[in-house]
Amino acid sequence: MALEFHKLIKKHAEAQPDHPAIIDGEATVTYAQLLEQVERFAGGLDTLSLGPDSKLGLLCLNQKEYLIALLGALLKGLPVVPYNFMLTPEDMIYITRDAGVDHLVVNPVFIKPEIAPFFSKFKGRITTAPVPDSGLPAEGTIPFDKFLQSAQPDETPPRHSRTEGIPDVIMYTSGTTAKPKGVMLNESMFDNNSKGVETYLPFQPEDRAIMALPLFHSFGNIIALLILRVGGTLILLPQFQPKAILAAIHQHQATILPLVPTIYSFLAQLVERGDYNVSSLRYCISGGAALPHALLHKVEDLMKVTVLEGYGLTETSPVISVNTIKGGSVVGSVGPALPDVQLKIVDDQGQAVPQGEVGEIIVKGPTVMPGYWKLPEASREALTPEGWLKTGDLGHLDEQGRLYISAGRKKDLIIRAGENVAPLAIENVLVNHPAIMEAAAVGTPHPRLGEQVVACIVLKEGCQATELELKKYCREKLPPFSVPDHFQFYETLPKNPVGKILKTQLREELQGALNPSS
């Protein structure tokens, strides 16, 4: 029973009641208002027909209601299941049944007539806006505002009596080749993780952070909790729109910008071509995928701001390491491990490798999940008996203990004619080409080589490049065995909700589409 975030919000509400906690479009929620609404939501949960296995689903955009419901449920002790709204209806139905979600906070934009029967199956639905003619039953459906108004604020609501073993939050990873897996997490883990990040990135009450990262994702979740932890202000944006992000920075004089590399790439292009004022930024945070070296330099040069890259997984609450304000940006590095995180680089037998050598990154500590929801076999595969989580990422440590994601995902490593080819090394070279906007290197089956290297390319607007030209460029900068065998050109690359390129999908699409080179 942590209740840490309620205690922190209460402290800020008492010290600075009128300070903005959340800016959501035209609406501003102060810390005093946030505290009252969180406590009202927690009190209102007593009016629902909750059982020991009940769980609250959150199907929202980046909006104030999401955070109020999350914090209110944590205060009450009711387990929360955030939904990735970009999943298919089939996956959402799977998550609902797998987790046992019986109550839902939902933005009506997701209630389509064809899937209204799915929403009608929940015992209770709290809607964040009016839903005329939605097809939902009136009984069990209540507007969010009315739900708050009808409840009494309760700073010490009786804790929800839940079945032993159910965590505070079940956060599902997006499944590309299998069903999503539920990562079991607790409020104490978020508290510990945000404290660890704060030791390296000292946020301040005066900070205003742009929140375009989806709140349902582990990256967005921890940044939001970090800002509320220190009494800063969250500026919520409903989705990744580069022009809207730049406009919001200027309008709100934002000081912190957390994003993924693909969005930084779009921002850099816009800033290079247009008159955008981003001078209020103190620093940027990059995560979710590897940040190409050329893009790091470009963003820092164009936006006149330090970009601090970090690394984490949903399974680790999520941050494992991050570059520090004191140390600044270090090209290729995702920084030292957080204070309470143990980190090792191991070989295929699980033995530690010498400093500087590449191996799999494994981590241990109070922010590592206890396992996957109802998946004991997957949990045993991911966690050693000693509690080390196998990340599946390949990296190395330098002499100062900073981590480098040297070769990307272990499963993405390409083995071409017996040589290990690191996709990340190819991608870092390709994005340095003046015509290339984005690049992803994947391996596809080849009868003689085992795997061939395919570079998937998105060109910058108005630019041209041929396969012959790009092969010549790569031969000048890469070892022969790493030069791509094929180049495929795309208008856009498939991505997950935070902008990470979906290499599994690319491999599936390319399977059989290419004639193996001789």
Can you spell out the DSSP letters for 330-346? -TTEEEEBPTT-EEEEE
Q: How far apart are CA 233 and CA 217, in angstroms?
A: 19
Please compute, for residue 117, the number of CA atoms within 13 A of its CA located in the half-sphere on the CB side.
2
Q: How far apart are CA 71 and CA 76, in angstroms?
A: 9
Radius of gyration of the chain (CA): 23
Domain boundaries in the chain? 33-185, 188-409, 413-510
The pLDDT score that the predictor gives to residue 177 is 54
Burial 45-68 (b: 16+ CB within 10 A, else e): beebebeeebbbbbbbbbbbbbbb
Q: Counting every residue, how long is the chain?
A: 518
Q: How far apart are CA 294 and CA 299, in angstroms?
A: 9
CA 72, 74, 79, 82 torsion-angle sign: positive
The pLDDT score that the predictor gives to residue 111 is 87
Q: How far apart are CA 20 and CA 31, in angstroms?
A: 6
188-409 and 413-510 in the same fold: no
Q: Is 414 helix (H, G, I), strand (E, B) or coil?
A: strand
The pLDDT score that the predictor gives to residue 52 is 97
Q: Answer yes or no: are the C-beta atoms of 184 and 369 closer than 8 Å.
A: yes
Q: Answer yes or no: are the C-beta atoms of 388 and 362 closer than 8 Å.
A: yes
- Phi/psi for 469 (5° steps) reads -65, -40
Q: How far apart are CA 100 and CA 50, in angstroms?
A: 12
Q: Could you tell me the fold of the domain covering 188-409?
A: Rossmann fold (3.40.50)
The pLDDT score that the predictor gives to residue 411 is 82
Q: How far apart are CA 509 and CA 295, in angstroms?
A: 27
Domain 33-185 maps to which CATH number in 3.40.50.300, 3.40.50.980, 3.60.15.10, 3.40.50.740?
A: 3.40.50.980
- Phi/psi for 458 (5° steps) reads -115, 120
Q: How far apart are CA 57 and CA 169, in angstroms?
A: 10
pTM of the model: 0.88
Chunked in runs of 10, what are the mean pLDDT values of the chain (518 residues)?
A: 86 98 98 97 94 98 98 97 89 94 95 81 92 72 94 84 97 76 97 97 96 95 97 94 96 97 90 93 92 90 96 97 96 96 96 95 98 97 97 94 87 84 90 94 89 95 95 93 95 87 90 60
State yes or no: cis peptide before 318, omega within 30 of 0.
yes
CA 505, 511, 517, 518 torsion-angle sign: positive
Please state the separation of Cα 144 from the chain's center in Å.
26
Q: Which residues contact 513 (CB under 8 A, 6 or more apart)?
A: none
Q: Answer yes or no: are the C-beta atoms of 310 and 335 closer than 8 Å.
A: yes
Task: Identify the burial level of 434 via C-beta atoms within 10 angstroms of its C-beta, where 0-12 means exposed, 13-18 middle and 19 or more buried.
Answer: exposed
Q: Cα dihedral angle (150, 153, 157, 161), rounded to 10 degrees?
A: 30
The pLDDT score that the predictor gives to residue 516 is 53
283 membership: H or E segment, kind and range: strand 283-286
Long-range pairs, 407-416, Cβ under 8 A, ≥24: 407/358, 408/290, 409/503, 410/360, 412/442, 412/443, 412/503, 413/443, 414/441, 414/442, 414/443, 414/451, 414/453, 415/443, 415/450, 415/451, 416/443, 416/446, 416/449, 416/450, 416/451, 416/452, 416/453, 416/481
The pLDDT score that the predictor gives to residue 442 is 95
Q: How far apart are CA 52 and CA 411, in angstroms?
A: 39
Burial 108-141 (b: 16+ CB within 10 A, else e): bebbeeeeeeebeebebbbbbeebeebebeeebb
The first and second tokens of residue 220, run together, are 């967005």
Q: In sequence order, what E strands does 331-484 have?
A: 333-336, 342-346, 359-364, 389-397, 402-409, 414-416, 419-421, 436-446, 450-459
Burial 398-431 (b: 16+ CB within 10 A, else e): eeeebbbbbbbbeebbbebeeeebbbbbbbbbbb
The pLDDT score that the predictor gives to residue 453 is 95
The pLDDT score that the predictor gives to residue 518 is 43
Burial 189-215 (b: 16+ CB within 10 A, else e): bbbbbbbbbeebbebeeebbbbbbbbb
Q: Characterize the bridge pairing of strands 256-259 and 283-286.
A: parallel
- Phi/psi for 50 (5° steps) reads -95, 140
Q: Could you tell me the fold of the domain covering 413-510?
A: GMP Synthetase; Chain A, domain 3 (3.30.300)
Burial 145-183 (b: 16+ CB within 10 A, else e): eebbeebebbeebeebebeeebbbbbbbbbeeeeebbbb
Q: How far apart are CA 315 and CA 181, in angstroms?
A: 10
The pLDDT score that the predictor gives to residue 1 is 47
